[in-house]
Structures are given as structure tokens and as C-alpha cells.
Chains A and B, each alone.
Chain A
Amino acid sequence: MVQPGWRDVLFSVKTFGAAVLALYIAFALDLTQPTWAMLTVFVVSQPIAGMVAAKSLFRAIGTIMGAAVALTLVGAFAQSAPMFLVSLALWIGACTFTSVLLRDAPAAYGAMLSGYTAAIVGIPAALAPETAFDYAVGRCIEILLGIGCATLVSQVIFPRTAGEALKESVNATLEDAADWTRDVLHGKSQQEKALADQRKLISDAISLDGLRVFATFDTPSVRAASNVVRHLQGELLSLLAILVSVNDRLALLRGLAPDKHAALQDILVRTASLLPAPGDPLRHDPSLGAVAEGLRQEAMSRLPTFDDMVHDHRSIPVRNILLRIGDLVTTWRRILDLREALLLGNTMSLSEAAPSTDRYRDITFALVAGSVSTTAVLATSALWVSSGWQQGSSAVIFSGVICSILGALDDPVPSAANFLRMTIFSAIFAAIYLFAVLPSIDGFVSLVFAFLPFYLPFGILLGLPRISLKVTPLGLNLVAFLGLTNVRSQPDFASFANSSLALLAGIGAGILMFRLLRPLGVEWTVRRIRRGILRDLERLAGPETMVSRNRFASRMFDRINALFSRLDATQPDQRALMRSALAALRVGFNLILLKEASHEIPRDAATAIARVLAELERHFRDLRMGTTISGPLHAIDDAVAILLARPVSRVEDLLTALVAVSSALHQHADLFGQVRSSPVPDIIRQGFPA
């Protein structure tokens, strides 16, 4: 249980203030549904100012777009209810598809909202076409009013900016990165702890980009330094990739050639001493540059030559480790420089363009989510039309809402069930307010005091991560149920019960659709991510595509992050899959290297490498399709034999890469299939104790 601090209380007071302000203005302007203005304040309010700004922007865009679509549909199909409902269902489906595809980008909210706004505005408008335009405009105005109040309050009164949060997060991430680097270099990264650390680091590094997007909304200096943040994230991800590689190579070497491992100890320890001691804050140290450069030079001068590698095959992993140590030192220096630039708000002169942060997109998953929304709206519409139930329109609207907002989850049923539970609670609260409290209210001030005991605690919960998602429907639906207006009307229990029942029926229909059409849940997502990893490797090995290392790495880390957040590291098979995913990243890097280097070598060696790539491509496709996998991939052994017999340019790199691929395939048979019987190619095995 998270203890709320003063920040959360402040946030709650701010949110409540903004809601009251919005409600007051809406009453003063005599708008038809002041409720929507108040509801919007609670929807967009988040602890960080940039997040409010981003959500507000897309709520405005989504609402206006949804209202426009609603009016178009009403205009086009006012005479034909089935056509109207079918096109509405298709629109909601298309919007859910887009929003699931955009994943956590702020624009995803806009896409989702424009889908169900079309239902919220369109259905009442279609029932009364003559007031349709006023109704749509009214909703837009009320929502813009709510957005205005929320943004104003969040920016003006003690703002907490995403820029600050970003800087804090950068520091925390870098300290964790330093910790883990030190553990890897000292060989202290025990498997379980290492995996937990990696999981946290990867998710922190991935989330930096999200914070950066929000920070551009509220911190001008970060907007200017946006490129710096992207570079920083890119370097951090490369650092992770290097560490994964070093960690695995060191483990291999410890097992196969302890003497070589011992010989590397001194340089590993000295590299670790570059990092700040545990618990120390990061400092900018001007002398670091020279020391780091010295270390890199030393690592390069100690690289085993080709003759060493032919003479003693066990020195191949040594070469790999030393190369990565050189990269590690360079990357760490660059990370510290970038951090300095970000904290001081300097604009660094960055020679190359920022690495693209490529995210993985799952089109099939988005299509499924979209069609669930469409089906839910169609099913409830059919029920509404055939039963002649007047309030059935709320069921249609809410089935669309619930399928839109929860469609992106792996397993939406528990969240939807929670939504249903919270809505029932809010209906009870609404009944208390409507029939016991509100009749004795005689002015705006007493109304505010009546809301205070409910919305202050609600605001505190809204600011707490995790809990906020659970309680949001409680507060929001209460506002929706109350339907405050300037016109005082006698509360009527029958119509209240009827409309609440319709709303709950809509949510229930959404749950039913999720259960019927998406029964697989998390397991299905994990399977899809796994196939995505294999497809990426297949594309890398394929002949035509030239994929950039950065794009591949950033997409892979995004996938790995998605995978890690769904797996349980205490289950042996799931832990194995987590490790295999990291190994897949390294296999990918080596494939890129093999492909690049094969352009510079003589014909026969290049043919051997091409055969390796073709064999791997076929192998990854077989794995992905689930067809029976064949053969021990002899091409790798053949290529190594050819290269060892005939030195060509960059032969050291090629050999290292081939051995790396071979050992990864052997170590991670759960992902790559039982194809390699030993970690190293046949010809080298004589040098290794098998």
C-alpha cells in the first residue's frame, strides 16, 4: 500500500479546485451538461503538468473529431438506423485499432476518444436530429472548458513538470546502470538478481522516451535538448546490449578457459573503478576522459590477433570481451557527457542524427482489439433495436467505451470486471447524492461542500500510480450519473434505475465480448512477442534488407521490455525465455556484422557466410511458423573452417561473430530449438574441453 504524501494531497486539492472552477463556469454560462466539464477535469488531471497538457491536447482533438464524425453520420443516415449503427460500430473499431497500434504515445488517447465520442454524441443526436448540432457543439465547449481549467491549474499552481521528473529519472537510471555494470565486470551478477536488474533498467530506459515526450510539453529547456535525451536513451540501450554481451561471454569463458578469464581480471577491475562507487551520486569528472581513453587503448592493444586465434581457439571470446570493454568505456563517457548537457540545459553539438526510437507494432493484435469493439457495439445495438428498450442507447455507448479503453490490455477481463464493480459503487453513491443530499442543496457553495468528502479522497487516490487506474471509474461515473444541470428536476427513482441498469448492461456486454473473442490473454501476447523476435531475426538474416543497428536495437529492447513486464522471473521456463530474448538481441547484432563484413571479403569466404545467413533465415522462419526444425546448421561449422584456413580481412570479427551465434543458439535452445550440440563450432571444439 502506497502512503500518500503531501504532493498527493496538494494534487487532490488542485484537481478538486479545477473541477469546481469548471463546474462554476459551466453553470454561469448556462451550458446544457455542466457535468462533462467537471468530468473532463478528473479525466485529464495527472500529477505531472506535461502529462496534463498532452492529454488535454489529445482530448480536445479527439472530442472535436468524434463530434464531427457523429454529425456526419447523423446527417448521412438520419433515416436509416441500421446504417447509422453499423457505420458507428465500424468507426469505433477503426479508432480502437489506431489507438492500440499507437500504444502508449499520447496520440493513442486522441484516437480512442474520437471513437467513443462519436457514440456519446451521435446516439442522442440521432434520436433527436433537430438538436444534434447544438448537442455536439455543447459537448465540445464543455470539454474544452474542463481542459482549460485543468491545464490552467496544473501549470500555474505549484507545477511539477515532466522535465524535472525526466532529470530525476535519468539520474536514477544511470545510477542503476552503473550498479549493474559494476556487478557484471566483477562477475558478481548472479543470474536471478541480474535478470531483475536488467528488467528494471530496460523498462526505465524505455520509459525515458515517454517522459521526454511529456517534457516537451512543459519544459522549454528539455524541448531544446530533446535530441540530447534521445541520444542518451540510445546510448543507454547500447550500454545494456554491451553488458548483456560481456556478461554472457564472461560466463562462457569462466566455464571453458578459467586461465584466460583470470588474465582479464585486472582490466575488468580497472574498468569498474571508472564508475562511481555504490551509493555515490554521479559526478562530472574532467579527468575521466583521459583515463577512459587510456583503458580503451589498452583493451585494443591486448586484442588477440588472428594467429593467436588460430593457435588457441579459446582466445576468440577474449577478443570479443576486450572489444566490448572498449565500447563500454566509450559509451559510458558519452552517457555522462549527455547527462551533463541535459542537466545544465546546454545544447551539445551532436554530429549524427538522433537514433530513431523504433517501437514494435503489432498489427494483428490491433485488428483483434478493433474488431472486438465493433462487435460489441453491433451486438448491443441489435439488442437495443430488437428489444425496444428506451435506455438501451446507454448500453450501446458504454459497450463502445469499455472496449475502446481496455482493448489495449493483454487480458482486459479483470480490468473490465473492476470497471463494472466500480460503476456499481458509483451508482450507489449517486443514488445517495441524488435522493438524500442534493434535494437539500440550495446553492453552488453548499454543492461544493457536499462534494468535498467524496472528491478529496478520490483525488488523492487518483494521483497514486496503480491505484488510480482502479478507482478512476468510481469518481468519473459518479459525475456522469449525477448529470448536474441548472434545471432543478424532481429525482425519479425508476428512470435512474433504468439508466443505471442500461449502463451496467453495456459494460457487461463489453466483458462478454472480451471473454468470447479474446480468451487467451497474456499467454497470447507472449507468444506474439516471441514470434516477433524470430521474425526480426529472420529479416536480419534475409538477403535484401539492410536494417540499421540502432533501429533493430530500439525495437528489440521495446519488445524485451514488453516481454519482461509479462513474465515471472521465478518460473524457470519463463526465466529461460527472458534470457533467450536478450540472447536474440546479440544474435541480431552478430547477423548485422556478418552481413556488413561479407561485402569486403573474397568470393569463397563470402559464399560461406551467405550460406550461414540463408540457413539461419530458413531456421528462424521454421521456428516462427512452428514447422519441424531441421539439421544442426552445418554452414556455421563450414564457414569457420574456411575462415580459419584462409585469413581474409576482418577475419577476426567474422570468427568472433560466428562463434557468438553458435554459442547463443546452443545456450538458448528453448527459443532457438535444439540445433547446436555444442556451444562452439566443430573445428574449434578440439581446443575447448567439450
Chain B
Amino acid sequence: MTELIIKNACVFDPMQNIHGDIMDIAIRDGRVVESVRNSADVIDAEGFLTLPGGIDSHSHVCGTKVNFGRYMSPEDMRAGRTARRGKMHVTSGYYVPTTYGNSYRYSAMGYTTVLEGAMAPLEARHTHEEFTATPHQDMLANTLFDGNWSIMEAVAKKDEQRAAAIVAWTLAAVKGFAIKLTNPGGTEAWGWGEDITGIRDTVPNFNVTPADIITTMMKANELLRLPHSVHIHCNNLGRPGNFRTTLETFDLVPDLNPNRQTLYATHVQFHAYGGTTWRDINSKASEIAQAVNAKPQIVMDMGQIMFGRTMTMTADGPMEFNLHCLHHNKWSNHDVELETGSGIIPVLYSKKSLVNCVMWAIGLELALFTKNPYQCLLATDNPNGAPFVKYPEIIGLLMSKRYRDEEFSTLHEGTEQRTSIAAIDREMDWNEIAIMTRAGQAKALGIALQGKGHLMPGAEADVAIYPIKCREVDPATEYRKVVEGFQKTRYTIKRGRVVARDGDVIVEGANSTFWVNPSVPDEHNMAHDKEFVKKFEEYYTVQMGNYPVQDVYLPRGRCIGTEADL
């Protein structure tokens, strides 16, 4: 039995409505408890800001796509090099670091749970192997279903039950966590050399539209009672005027679940562009935020961009091809048989580029216009918008109008006409930041019940203590202290163990991978479905028996069982 008590912590725990109370947190065997014995180890938090462990609800840190980003950018491996030190492995890379690099940097920032935004089912083994090598964060994997042929056939027949059954089998087979739709239908169309421009276009060779896929998958998701909702990357990413597609998508969303949202829209910044071409692009963040304010069934994340070099990687192959045509830089494209595709290109977001400045403003506007912070979470779609190490700066920007104004004055002068960021006075408080970085994520991902995102007795003892005296520091003026404070925790505690101190990781990690196993009645078990099996044997390059990921790939897997309503 190991016991630990954190004394004098200035705690913000939005789920329990604790706003800056000075209190003690007792931990026994990796869980928060009411009290511990006097012999427990003591950590003095000295009145510093103490939050539940951070959760990133959309990040690309593992999997073949990220790895291909690494192959493609040997120049990035020259940045961010750290030598082996104590328990820390060698790391390198800035926007696509090594897995340990990702893990240490997240840990230094107090993040203890990360969701990998897109995992191609066929490539799940490699993703899980990289999860194991990202040892300080609990990992979850969104599983791509956007161009899955069996799903699209079920959608064409309007058979939600069949779609749900296929999802259930696939999630259990690849140890995935939730349904991810990336440019639904679009990637598949692109595989045939065509493209989709709106959610009412028909996918070639399949008599379905993106709208059909989204609607059916939302229903299937609820039939399976999955912890997380459908996680969508809307169609038409990064095209001027695409806010209409986004609003149309939001209009499709019914309120199906009282406990959480029905649709999680990711990196909405890339989907909130007005105008018709890159020349007249402008911000439609307020329209998007209005729609979200009116619909509690939708949660989004910012997809903030920050200036500097980074790498875009997404399952949205056609979009990456368009970007490649714009930049003429190196580009990778990848098509995963019957399932999905992906593309990767490096980018440089520059303050000299008006488009980039507008993008920067849109992300912040989305967060500031959304009334309920539970509905707009903080993420950069790492590394697409910016590497996650920029999160502290984003927190600073959200908390301080002065910081925003200072940054704004360095931007391209046309930004003011295209955006309304300069007119927004809202400054977020500590509680709202705590929601946008942990509580909101836990609720949206449906892992609050697993003890994530809060510090109630029974919760996983994931705690981040930041060297910020939150009662003395005024974030509106002393934003530098806020940014610095969020960059390096004094202590990051993971499952009751101090894993990082002052930015240095001090122990070997022992993360878990959460996955979902929906139990379905036997008649819906796809392993016995003749048609499904036949298609599989006919079209896939692997035998169906070899497709599921063996338990050995998840040394510390944690299964979340659900009872499907089929």
C-alpha cells in the first residue's frame, strides 16, 4: 500500500465545483481517497495551482501516419535533442518528436491522458506498439471508419444495427476507443480520383452521402452505448467558405445522449472559413460558435494554430493533396485498403501570411465566443495547428486580452478586417482553463467514470501542480508567469506516483491503453456474418483471423465494456 498526501494545494476541480480552495489531496494506491494515515508521504504544494491531470482529446502522437512524418522530416530530428539523463531516454524532434519525446514533454506540462486522433484499423498493431513507448500517458485511440466499405454498404441500406455491429467487431478487434470520421466519404471518393465538395454529394460507387454516413454512425454509436460520441473531422477542411459545410453538419446532430454530446467536432478552426478563395478568406467563428451555443449536443475543439514550423498529418488525403499543390513541398499520401487514407506535408505558419493570421484568430475566437467552456476544448490538433508544447501560450492568450493585443499588433495588417478577435474582451479564468484542458475532455470522452478529469474520491490520482500562485498572479497582466507556469509543472503525479518534477521525468512510465469492447448479441457478431467474412477474405490483404490485435500488444490494456442496445 503506497500512500501520498498533497498538502496546501490550491485546487481547481470544475467537476466538483472547487474553485481555488486550499485543500489536501489524499492518495492511496493510485486513487484519490478521503484520508490517509499519518505515515503517508507528503508533497507540499505551497499553495500552487493544482489541477487534475491534463487530457488531450485530439492529438496525433502515435501510429504509422506520425511515423511517416518522422521519416519525411530528418531535418526535424535535429531539433529538440536531449541526451539520456536519469530515467529519461534520448529524445529528438520538435514537431514530430520521438515517442519518448512526446511523452516527456506532455508529462512536463502535466498531461496524463492523450487520445490519438486517428488510427487506421489495419495499422493498429503499430499504433499500440507506439502507445507502449509513450509510457507516461494513458492512451486512447480513435478508430477510423470514414471510408470503411462494409460500413458504407450498411449506411446505403440504412441499416444502423449492421453498422453498429461492424463498429463493435472492429473496435474490439483493433482495441480502439471511439469512432472517428475523417472527411467522411471524401477520402474514399479521392481513392477513385474524385472529390466531395459538400455533405450532400454522393460517394462514387457507393450510393451514400457524407450526411448519411454521419447520421447513421451517430445512431450506431448510441446503439453501442460507447463512452465517447462520434468524433468527426468535417468535410471540406481548409477550404474558404467551408463554414457552411460545418453548419450543415451540425444541423444533422440530434440530442441522443443526456450524459454527453452526440457529436465531437474536432479542430473546428480549420472548418470555420468564410469567403470564396484564399484571397478573401475571413472568419466565420461567430456563426460556428452560435450554432454550438444553441446545441448542447455538440462539443468541439479549437484546432488552434500557432506561428512556426510544423507538420500537418491527417486521414484527409485529398485535403493534403490540395495543400501540396499550394506549397509544392514534400508530400506523402497513403491509402489504407477498404478503410481510409492519409496525407502528410510540412508547413510553416507565418505572421506575414494573412491566411495564417486569420486562422490564428479564428481558433481563439471559437474559444472566446463559445459560452460554455465544456463545449470548446483546448487543442491544436497536434501537430497540425502547432506542436502541443504551445498549449501554455494558448492558455495565456485565452486568459489575457493584453497578450492577445500584443500578439495581434505583430500580425499582418489585414487581419483586423477579416476577424473580430481584436474586439473580444473576454478573459478566461482558472476554472474555465481547467475545464478546457481536463474536465471538459474527460466529460466529452466519457472517461470521467474511469476516474479521469476530476479529483473526487475514487478518481485516478492524476494530478498536476503548476508553479503558479493562482491567488496572487493576475493572468490578465502577468500572462508571462502563466505561460511559464504551464510549461513545467512542479510535480506531475500519475496514478499516485510522481512522474515528473520541474519538467524532468524521474520514473519509468507505466501507462494504460483504454479500449472499448461493446458486447453484442450473437446474431450481430460479425465474426459469424457470412457476407462480412466473405468480403473480408476476398478484399483484404490479411486473413480475418490475423486482423485482430493480440493482447500482447497492450501490456497494460484496460477494457471498457459496454452493453449494446441491439
Asked if A and B are interacting partners, one says: no
